[in-house]
């Protein structure tokens, strides 16, 4: 049985037919929207109200707030990670992602940020605008110093640094070859245990795709590990790429950096909500 798929070329971002398709769709949509009475005036008013300093994310740790702010007064909205005292006072800039730009035409964005339990370290996922290829950078929040650690293809990080002393868990996916289809992007990921100052290429995989036959994980699944403060337990969760029930795994051997492979780890999969 043959099933026609006339949109297969959508998987190749470099296919000229894809650019033509979006151009035609944009022209059609613009023709409909621009013809609506009063739309131009409404758009101008919304743009004027949007020219403000916005806080898109906030985390509290001890005596400080960590803020993800966006300044709409710029030509391009721009995320920055700042620190502010709960008692008040000026904000201190921790990271402007455009510091990684090599030219004025480049623009970098913050995809996420997380904070260690003691507030010492801040992990910030940064990617070139629109690419969604995230590199994790770590900041010493006390001094504001950007540490040399750079973890590529880091989809998400669970609390950097002081969660486990100077260690943290990060979900990363392998780098794909240039000719890989778009459907292979962000697949076959694993959670790795990173130690501050260590080459990320040496980080051991502790949970994720292809590590344990007892815990089936599909290529499109995401596997995260949360280390509980002051506890010997770790919580692992699998988020499926297709609608299924999430499953949690408890493990006692995460601190060994090899929980999915360690023969003494008594892991048990249980449904979670």
Tell me the whole-structure pTM to 2 decimals: 0.63
Look-up of token digits 């990271």: 95
For residue 263, the model assigns a pLDDT of 43
- Domains in the chain, start-ordered, CATH in brackets? 53-203 (2.130.10.120), 211-273 (no CATH)
C-alpha 72/C-alpha 99 separation (Å) is: 18
* Average pLDDT of adjacent 10-residue blocks, the chain of 273 residues: 86 88 95 93 82 56 64 44 57 81 84 79 84 87 87 76 63 86 85 90 92 89 81 83 55 45 40 33
Helices (H), the chain: 16-34, 39-49
Helix (H, G, I), strand (E, B) or coil at 105: coil
Cβ pair 195, 138 in contact under 8 A: no
Nearest to 108 by CA among 87, 135, 82: 135
């Amino acid at each position: 049985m043959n099933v026609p798929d006339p949109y297969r070329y959508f998987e190749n971002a470099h296919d000229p037919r894809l650019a033509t398709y979006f151009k035609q769709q944009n022209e059609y949509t613009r023709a409909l929207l621009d013809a609506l009475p009063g739309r131009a005036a409404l758009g101008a008013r919304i743009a004027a109200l949007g020219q403000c300093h916005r806080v898109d994310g906030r985390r509290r740790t001890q005596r400080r707030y960590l803020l993800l702010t966006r300044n709409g007064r710029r030509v391009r909205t721009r995320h920055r990670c700042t620190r502010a005292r709960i008692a008040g006072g000026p904000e201190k800039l921790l990271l402007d992602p455009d510091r990684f730009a090599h030219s004025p035409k480049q623009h970098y964005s913050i995809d996420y940020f997380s904070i260690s339990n003691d507030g010492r370290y801040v992990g910030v996922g940064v990617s070139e605008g629109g690419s969604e290829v995230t590199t994790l950078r770590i900041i010493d929040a006390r001094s504001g110093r950007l540490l040399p650690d750079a973890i590529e293809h880091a989809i998400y990080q669970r609390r950097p640094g002081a969660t486990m002393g100077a260690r943290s868990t990060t979900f990363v996916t392998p780098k794909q070859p240039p000719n890989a289809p778009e459907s292979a992007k962000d697949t076959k990921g694993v959670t790795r245990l990173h130690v501050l100052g260590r080459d990320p290429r040496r980080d051991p995989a502790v949970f994720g795709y292809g590590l344990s036959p007892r815990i089936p994980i599909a290529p499109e699944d995401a596997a995260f590990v949360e280390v509980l403060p002051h506890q010997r337990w770790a919580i692992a969760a699998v988020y499926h790429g297709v609608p299924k029930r999430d499953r949690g795994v408890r493990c006692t051997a995460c601190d060994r950096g090899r929980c999915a492979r360690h023969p003494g780890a008594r892991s048990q999969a249980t449904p979670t909500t």
